[in-house]
Structure 1
Amino acid sequence: MPDNRTILGPLTETWTFPSRCNQFYLPDCSSCTVASQGQKCNTANPTTIDSREDIQCWPPGTPPNVFDPPLSGWGIYKPADKCPEGYTVACSAEGTTKSDFEFQFEVHDDEFVRGCCPSHYECAKYEGAQTCRSIFSRGRIQMFSCKSGSTVLNDLKAPTQWLGPGYTTIGSITIHAPMFQLAGLENFETTTDTALASSTETSQPNMESDSGGGLSTGEQAGIGIGVGVVGLGILVAAFYLWRRRERSKVPPKYILEPSQLDSREVNPPGELGGIPIAPPPYTPVELHGTTARQELP
């Protein structure tokens, strides 16, 4: 059975996803809700971006493969065993026996296939072509649109309204990004990152989230430490109040103040106890005026 797949050749390891390819392009209409990355404005039809992928947003293919939009998935990079920088494995298949995604291009029995997408994107199909998909449903995001051959920047806030000429309610925006299908003969480590559901938001440049979201591990640890410190403070305050109350129950000892000591009068002897004591009576005696002289022997 002939191989009818488009083999783009090996994936160049030095190729990196250009930063400008992270921009979101949305057709210039108030009801449009499907945006794409890796696009550029179509000067031939200035109000649309259809069929105008940016060649710089795909790894180069080897001749005779020609970059001719619309790519519609384009082909398979083989041999390849590592996603380009900025991309991660979002889906995989091991031969024809194990797969978590129906790849656009057939997987052979002896191949290990990976679908590479930006972080927080999932493998998906859009109009028959494989793509990376993310759902933006909450917060603020910057979208580019094409008007008269030039690029126009618009602010978009979901799920409320389109902030442009006119207002309309928008529930969510579906964003597509280029998907790179890799094939090799050796299994390489899978770092699947498909934790994006339709209710989550993309974490790409030019986005602001208005919602609180879940707490990170660091935030949870900080809250736990704060609660512990507050609890310890309450216990210390309660112990202090209890000690103060216990000490207030001890009857005070009576101690004379210095002012009281200074004001007390000290009675002389004989006046103690409040009963005066009279001195003992003495009889006056007259002394002789002369004394007999005596000679010493």
Structure 2
Amino acid sequence: MTASLDLVEGLLRRRLDEAARRPFILGICGAQGSGKSTLADGLAERLAASNLRVAVLSLDDLYLTKGERQHLARDVHPLLATRGVPGTHDVGLGLAVLDGLGTPGRTLLPRFDKAVDSRAVEGAWVEGPVDVVLFEGWCVGAVPQDAADLDPPVNELERDRDAGGEWRRHVNAALAGDYQRLFGRLDALVLLAAPDFAVVRGWRIQQEEGLRAKLRAAGKPTDGTMTDDQVSRFIQFYERLTRHILVEMPGRADLTLRLDAARQVV
């Protein structure tokens, strides 16, 4: 992770010196388990040490509540009950948070509790205006696919539970809509590029193991965490867009860090 930190910090400081506005918003994109949060936290620590005011915002913390997604599942498509894809985030909240971080006063950074699959009651207050926002997420900066690319299913989930393509068309339309307003706020984009989608399952399982350990240490139940088989099904929701990002984004990201299966920069 030190190599990634050094490379991203170098890009950020160069671009920050040239930037005319604050806050400077750096997008960090990468597949599940690729190390986005670790990179953002390490970068925030380094920047704060040089007296820069930094806020870290995760796309995951913008998920719609469980109740809101259940409404989408009923009214649009059952697969929208599961968090993750475009269309399951509160984009307006994300824009409001970015606006708030650029003005004097306190802004509440939302937090999503994955253990209960809904937004946490408490967030984190940040005093603005900040100098840098590190905005990380698995599809931060993504662009929609061409309509024709949506037709063939990419996995069992799409074949069996979205045979007509309504879910993936809805996701693609959401990404083409307000998400582009949100991602349009980025001043620079970094991609942590997995070697392929096949490694994501192992990375995501490691995340669940870490979450269980954290919950046990806090004396909390681990019922809300996923088994390995559940992870295998869950990542299928992310597969289409992750594959698209790995093909499309390197050509336009400000910095692409190609990782091996151990998350080392190669």
TM-score scaled to structure 1, two decimals? 0.20
Specify the structure having the higher radius of gyration (Cα): 1
Greater relative CO (CA pairs within 8 A, separation 6+): 2
Higher strand fraction (1 or 2): 1
TM-score (structure 2 length as normaliser): 0.22
